[in-house]
Every structure is written in C-alpha cells, then in structure tokens.
Structure 1
Amino acid sequence: MDGKPGLRELKKQRTRAAISDAAITLFLERGFNQVSVAQVAEAAEVSKRTLFAYFPTKEDLVVHRLADHETEAARVVRARPPRTAPLTALREHFLTGLRERDPITGLNDHPQVRRVHRMILDAPSLVARMEGFKTGAERALAEALQETAATPELTARLAAVQIVAVQWALAQDNAERLAYGEPASERYAGAVKDAEHAFALLENGLHHLTPGR
C-alpha cells in the first residue's frame, strides 16, 4: 500500500468537490437563501439523495470548507515544540497566517474569498453554524491545554474561550476593513500590530500558560 486513495475514494472526493463547487457558484450568483438544495443537485448533476449523503444540510455545503479550522488551535497547541508556551505557539501561528494571507485570519482580499465572507454574514443560518464552530474550537483547545500543558479543567476552558474569541475578533476586524476596500497589503502591518497587542493582553492575563512564571 502506498497510502494513496483508491479509485472509489477518488470518485467520492471528485463528487464531493463537484457538489461543493456547484453550490458555492450558485450561492454567490443568487444568494444563499435564494438557492434550493434541488437546484444545487441539478447543477452538480447528482440526485438530492446523493447530495445529502455528502452534505447532510444546506449549510454544510458552505461551512465544510472551514471545518478543518474548528480544531486548528488545538492542533497547534499539541504540535508545538518542547518548552514552548501554548500562547506563544498560537501567536506565531496566527502571525504566520497573516503573512500567508490565510482566509481564516480575515486578511485575504481575493474577490471570491470576500464574497463568501459576505454571503456567510448575510445568512443567519450560516452565522449560527459559524458560532457552532467557535464553540467547537473552544472545546477542542481546552482539551489540548489540559492534555499537553497540565492546565486545570476550569482554567483551560476559560483560557480557550478568551483565546478563540480574540482570534475571531482579529479576523473579523481584518475582514471588515477589506470589505470596505482596504487592500490586504496595506492592512497587513496594522493587522500584525493588532495581533501582537491582542496576544500581549492574553499573555498578561494568562501568565499561567507561560512556563517559568
């Protein structure tokens, strides 16, 4: 075995991608609330039954693209180098995301990324799903802090809530500025400054996550 997916799995991946691409195209053209699941299935040339096998809800057609980010902070904490504080690892990861224009940081002005962001904000059901992602991120991060930093359960939960909230607030600030026309290249320095300030505030309030203090 070479670790590569078999033909059946490749076919499933292609079908999933085709459905998702068709959905995003229609949603951006007409609006999320104006497109039915049946229309997405027709555009992707699959049955509604097949569509629901890949995406149980209409919202999943959009938010599945962000699903990996739900446990991203937890993965960063678990994969951090030895003797590196969790908050330091998360700060460096966020700054790297800004530098690389990762859409999750809000600092990506590609037209489609901006349109998807606006579409999510305009659909209450998608906003609700994103709040669910936020809750999941908090839970996953709290577990990672308990397991890798010997952080007490309550402390881990409170820290995770603050860290995730800060990351989301920074991303929303960046995305809002870009939505009003500020280029990512011009926003970058300010985004870094804001991130440095935010993580400094977290570190001062969460000093128990920093080794040796």
Structure 2
Amino acid sequence: MELGLREAKKQETRQLISDHATRLFLEQGFEETTIAQVAAAARVAKKTVTNYFARKEDLVLDHQDEFVATLADAVSSRQPGESALAALRRTFEAAVAAKDPVAGFAGQEFSRMIAESPTLSARLRVLHEQRERALADALADAVGSSRSDIIVRTAAGLLGAVHHILFQRIEELTLAGRPVDEVAETVAAEAAQAFDLLEPSLGNYAVA
C-alpha cells in the first residue's frame, strides 16, 4: 500500500510539472521558457523537474516512448492471417477515428508550438527515426530474419515513411485551422490511398 501511494504521488508530481510546463510553453514559447520558470510555477525545486524530465523537450513530448513503440506494437500484435501492412493500416485507422494525440491530433496551439520550435521539431524527427528502427526490429522478428536484412529495412522504411507523411499531414491541416473532424475525415481518405500504394509490394509480407 505504501509503495502504491508513493508511486501515485510521484505520478501526480510528474503530471503537475508537465501541466505547468505545457501552459508556460504555450503562453511564452518553448525556446523562451526556462526550467527554472517551470519549477517555480509547479512549486518544486529545479532539480525535481530534471529528475522527472531529463531533457526540456521531454516536458512537451511526454508520450514519446508510446509514440516510438506504436508501429512495432501493431506488427507484434497482428491477428492470425494478417500482414504487417494490414495490421498497421487497421491500427492507424483506429487512431484517426479516435483522434489520438499520439497519431498527431494534438490541437492547433500545441502543433504550432512544435512547428515554431527548432528544438522540438528536431526531437520529433529523431522520434520518427527511432519509431522506424523499432518497426524494423519487429518486422525482423516477424519474418525470422536479421535486422540488417535489406528487405526488412526497406519494408520498415516504406511503412515508416507513410506514417511520417500522414503525421505531417495531420499537423498541416491542424495548423491551417481545419476542424478536427474534417482533419480526421480528410486524413482517413488520404491514408487509404497511401496504404493502397503499398499493397502490391507488401500486401503479403510478414503475415501472422
């Protein structure tokens, strides 16, 4: 019980810091806001902030582990008879229907903050690269091949690129001020076209 309370308190503190940081970043801009200001707003020591968030950008991209794992998890949990492409397509469609922030539905203010910050934009590119590498690992396991296999790496590159493009498309429409329902409807239709392009080459690849 004591451990559970301690963990709950830690999670509460982490969320408090994250909430205050997001508010300040949206008000002042990411680059202009300091860790000291975040600590003061959350009424904690500066060291407490850095204990919970190793990098300043982690305060914004606090779902990055989940983001990096999304494509690999979709492949690893594909259904019997389902290809990697079909599993990724199905899970992306579900994310769009749910308007999942991890898929890019973060709102106009948040998306603008990311786009206007060189630090956050660079970090997001790294996360897309890490997500593709994690996908390659999952595909290698799925087909019983080496991580260095050119087919595995090519498949991961193609599948990762489609998801990266669709993520950018969601951001683009969001920044243009389109209503979220319209963004979801537009991206769902465009995603169908994008995934269709890969069907001839990857439709039967890594079938469970």
TM-score, shorter chain, exceeding 0.5? yes
Aligned with residue 202 of structure 1, among 181, 195, 198: 198
Question: 1:203 touches 1:210 (CA, 8 Å); kept in 2?
Answer: no
Shift of 1:175: 2.2
Aligned residue for 1:75? 73
Mapped contact 1:138–1:157 kept (Cα < 8 A)? no
Separation in 2, partners of 1:71, 1:125: 22
Q: Which of 165, 168, 171 lines up with 1:169 in the alignment? A: 165
Determine the C-alpha separation between the residues in 1 that align with 2:120 and 2:174.
20
Q: In the alignment, which of 95, 98, 105 is matched to residue 97 of structure 1?
A: 95
> Structure 1 residue runs of 4+, over 4 Å off?
none
Alpha-carbon distance, 1:79 to partner:
0.8
Give CA-to-partner distance per residue, 1:33-61, whole Å, 9 cap, x none: 11111000111111111111111111111
- 8 A Cα contact 1:70 1:136, kept in partner: yes
CA distance in 1, matches of 2:33, 2:120: 14
Question: Out of 66, 70, 86, which is 2:64 matched to?
Answer: 66
Q: Percent of aligned pairs with the same residue?
A: 39
Counterpart of 2:127, as a letter, is F
- What TM-score do you get using the length of structure 2 for normalisation? 0.91
Structure 1: give runs of 5+ residues left out of the alignment.
none
2:3 & 2:193 partners in 1: Cα distance? 44
Q: Distance in 1 between matches of 2:184 and 2:111?
A: 18
Q: 2-side partners of 1:35 and 1:21: how far apart? A: 14
Structure 2: unaligned runs, 5 residues or longer? none
Q: How many residues align?
A: 206
TM-score (norm 1): 0.89
Would the aligned equivalents of 1:28 and 1:119 in 2 still touch at CA under 8 Å? yes
Residues 179-213 of structure 1, C-alpha deviations (whole Å, 9 max, x = no match): 212222233333222111111112223345165xx
Report the counterpart of residue 158 of structure 1 in structure 2: 154
1:35 aligned counterpart, secondary structure = coil
Letter in structure 2 aligned against 1:187? V
Partners of 2:59 and 2:163 lie apart in 1 by 24
Query: What letter matches 2:202 in structure 1?
Result: L
Matched, 1:192 2:188: yes
Shift of 1:29: 0.7
For residues 106-185 of structure 1, what are the structure 2 equivalents within 5 Å? 106=104, 108=105, 113-151=107-145, 153-185=149-181
Distance 2:204 2:22 in 1: 43
Q: Distance in 1 between matches of 2:52 and 2:186?
A: 40
Counterpart position of 2:52: 54
